[in-house]
Amino acid sequence: MSPAVGPYSPVRRAGDWVITSGQLGLGTDASGAAALVPGGTLPELRQALENLASVLATHGATLADVVKTTLFLIDMGEFAGVNEVWIEHFTSDRPTRSAVAVAALPLEARVEVEAWAYVPVPVPEPPR
């Protein structure tokens, strides 16, 4: 799981919902420090989706549990390539998605992804 780049939680549970903050394409550089993966939007998106899966897992959720996403892009001209990467990670029963063009993202990232996952909290059986 990549570290938060500000004073916020990367993921929270609210009842049956697991809600993530925006995930960037942060990996680690040769020194082990957090850094954007090289190569631009598509490699960043692949890493951001791996980071998303990692933060969801901390609350027992997977990408298959995601029902709503918001995608922030610096360049909407890369939308077709983004869709190709998207279907690599969301193979069936894809979540809803909004895509928003933005002027800038933290750390000069080119893409950011946030998500809502539905993971019902088990209801305990009543005592007998």
Per the model's pLDDT, the better-predicted residue between 127 and 10 turns out to be 10
In the prediction, which pLDDT does 1 show?
Answer: 60
In a domain, 123, yes or no: no
Q: Which residue range(s) make up the domain with 27?
A: 11-118
Contact (Cβ atoms closer than 8 angstroms) between residue 116 and residue 55: no
Please give the pLDDT value at position 46: 98
In degrees and rounded to multiples of 5, residue 127 shows phi and psi of -65, 150
- Taking 80 as the threshold, does the pLDDT of residue 114 lie above it? yes
Least Cα distance to 16 among 107, 119, 89, 91 occurs for 119
32 in a domain, yes or no?
Answer: yes
Q: Which residue has the tokens 């190709």?
A: 84
Number of domains in the chain: 1
DSSP state of 60: T
pLDDT above 70 covers what percent of the chain? Answer: 96
64 within a domain of the structure (yes/no)? yes
Provide the whole-model pTM: 0.91
Task: Tell me, yes or no, whether 21 lies in a domain.
Answer: yes
Q: What is the pLDDT of residue 2?
A: 64
- The mean pLDDT of 71-87, rounded to a whole number, is 97
Tokens of 24: 């960037």
Query: What CA–CA distances, in Å, run from 67 to 21, 64, 96, 97, 119?
Result: 15, 8, 6, 9, 10
